[in-house]
Each structure stands twice: as structure tokens, then as C-alpha cells.
Amino acid sequence: MENSKIFSVLEQYKDNVKYEIEKKLLRIKSNHSYAEISLYGAQVVSFIPNDQSDLLWLSPLTELNQKKAIRGGIPICWPWFGKHPQNDELPQHGFARISQFALDTITNLPDGNINAQLSLVSTPASKQLFPYDFKLVVDITVGQQLKVSLTTHNTGSEPFAISEALHSYFSVNDISETHIKGLKNTTFFDQLKSKNMQDLSEAIIVTQEVDRIYQADKQALEIEQTSKPTIHITQENCHNVVVWNPWISKAQSMQDFPNNGYLNMLCIESANISPEINIAPQATHQISQTIFD
Ligand code: BG6
């Protein structure tokens, strides 16, 4: 999207929305919080409620240069989660997080919140990866809470199936003092052991690499910490929750991840992975995740 078009969308919001051309980054100041959104991936990379610290974690080694997926914030995994089901050579977690989105609208809401709407439409290049017509809309509302909605429109004449995730990286002070609550008695697929298991604990405490896909249409989860306010997460229309922390050796193997970064981050992802979501021609499907402290 050309910069002139972006500035024409932003013109009337000069005071509370700035755009950094080189990084393709929107800086949004609502009455209640501050957020940054990269147009590359339609990815929120920072969310700071007034008088608080960032709820999201962004790797200090990631570069906002539109060449590689951004490590941190809220990446959008779409139209597939993880490896492509048939072809390992296609990009991990789909192509939304490595695509330039258009900025459609910015709206000042009456309650002092600010909404940004970004979109991605199918092109001949996207059809090499996913041979369907679509429009993907990312709707981000910045207020006391941060709400990210992902809407898939099937704009073509053939049905298609997707998997998807709002792959949020949360910032935590100390992983050893962090409790994830809300998944008790829930079955999960352990991606490291390739088997189904059940979580019986009151709270999950991460003490090693964790990569789990929970069968959970849980509406409410909490990240409880001793030295920081509890982070609340709600999700709509998702039947999975992914919990991921790379721990030591995986952290060391990722170039854009600091060796000790695993101590201060935790991914809690709102997802539909298994089963996939089928979307009929001209139909629409929407998920969302809301975070607040
Ligand atoms: C998680 C997956 O969602 O994302 C993990 O469950 C994966 O298996 C992690 O390692 C990070 O993926 P990527 O592609 O951003 O390194």
C-alpha cells in the first residue's frame, strides 16, 4: 500500500495515530493505552495500558524490516497453523504474517478507544500458496483492553478449509513465578511427545519446553504473576488454545530469539487447528482474542 494512501486514511487522526514509514508501523495512543501495529503481518507488537508495562513480548533481536516474520507481539497464523498439511516447503504458520496488509480505516470510538482495520486479499501470488479467493480482515481495537479479530471471507466459488491462530507472545517478569490458569482437566496434544494428554493441575507452571494444543473453547484464561498484575485473556469462536515456550535449547537455535528470552515470555494462542474450519463460498468466519490486566 502506498504511503500516500496510508496518510490519507490517517489524516484526521494526526494527534493520536502516527505512522513510521520505514518500519511500516502505526503508533496509536488511545485514552486508555498505547499500541503499535506493523502493517507487515497486521501484527500488534506492543500494547501498554496507561501506567502499566507492555503486556506483549517482542524479541529485541527481531527486525521490523518486512523481510522475515516478526518474533513477538501477536503474529497471525493463517491460512494454516504450523507446517502446511501437505507441503513442508510452504511457509510455517501460513503467509499472513509475512504479507503486507492494507490499512482500510482508523476510527476514533466514542469511549476513547481507537480501532484500526487492515486487510489482505488474494492475488495471483497468494494463489501459488493457497489457491482460493479470499479477503482476510484484521480488526484491532485499542482501549483499556486490546481486542484483535480475524475475519476470513471466502470471496470465491469453491469451499476451502483453514487452520489459524492469534499467536500472542506475553511478557512475563519471571517464568518460574508465572501461573497459567483456566486449563484444568483439559485434554491437549503434546507436540513434543506426539500424544494426547490431560492437564489436571490447577495452574500450569513452565519448567521446560512446552508446546501444547489444548482442546479448549475456554472463554477465559489468566496469566498470574507474583510481581505484576494478572493478564486476562478471552477468546471467541476458537476451539483450541496453544501454550508454547521454547525453553533453553530451542531458544538458542532461533536466530531472532535471545538465549535467555524464554524466561520472560510465554505464548498463549487462540486457535482453530484441529478440526480445521471449512468455509463455504461467500461465507465468513471470525475469531477474536481480547487481553487486559
Ligand atoms: C507455536 C508452535 O505456535 O509456534 C511451535 O506450537 C512453534 O511448534 C512456535 O515452534 C514458533 O513458531 P515459529 O515458526 O514462529 O518459529
Report pLDDT for 6.
Answer: 87
Determine the atom of ligand 1 nearest the C-alpha atom of 71.
15
177 given a catalytic annotation: no
Active-site annotation holder among 84, 93, 153, 167 = 167
Spatial contact of 204 and 265, defined as CB atoms under 8 Å apart: no
| Cα 46 to averaged position of ligand 1 atoms, centre (Å) | 19
Query: Pairing between strand 210-215 and 186-190?
Result: antiparallel
Checking if the pLDDT of 257 tops 90, the result is: yes
Average pLDDT over residues 92-118: 96
Determine the atom of ligand 1 nearest the C-alpha atom of 97.
15
| Percent over 90 (pLDDT), the chain | 92
Report pLDDT for 14.
Answer: 65
Task: Report pLDDT digits (tens) over 67-77.
Answer: 999 999 999 99
Report pLDDT for 12.
Answer: 66
Task: Report pLDDT digits (tens) over 178-219.
Answer: 999 999 999 999 999 999 999 899 999 999 999 999 998 767
| Percent over 70 (pLDDT), the chain | 99
- Give the Cα separation of 75 and 204 in Å (integer): 23
For the beta sheet containing 220-225, the strands, ordered from the edge strand earlier in sequence to the opposite edge, are: 102-108, 114-121, 134-142, 146-154, 284-292, 231-236, 220-225, 178-181, 203-204
Q: Residue 164: CB within 6 Å of ligand 1? A: no
| Cα 70 to averaged position of ligand 1 atoms, centre (Å) | 12
**Span between the terminal Cα atoms of the chain, in Å:** 34
- Tell the residue nearest (CA) to atom 8 of ligand 1: 211
Task: Report pLDDT digits (tens) over 9-63.
Answer: 887 666 789 999 999 999 999 999 999 999 999 999 999 999 999 999 999 999 9
Task: Report pLDDT digits (tens) over 127-160.
Answer: 999 999 999 999 999 999 999 999 999 999 999 9
Contacts of 196 (CB under 8 A, 6+ apart): 187, 188, 189, 190
Q: Residue 134: CB within 6 Å of ligand 1? A: no
Tell me the CATH number of domain 2-292, given options 3.30.1490.20, 1.10.260.40, 2.70.98.10, 2.60.40.420. Answer: 2.70.98.10
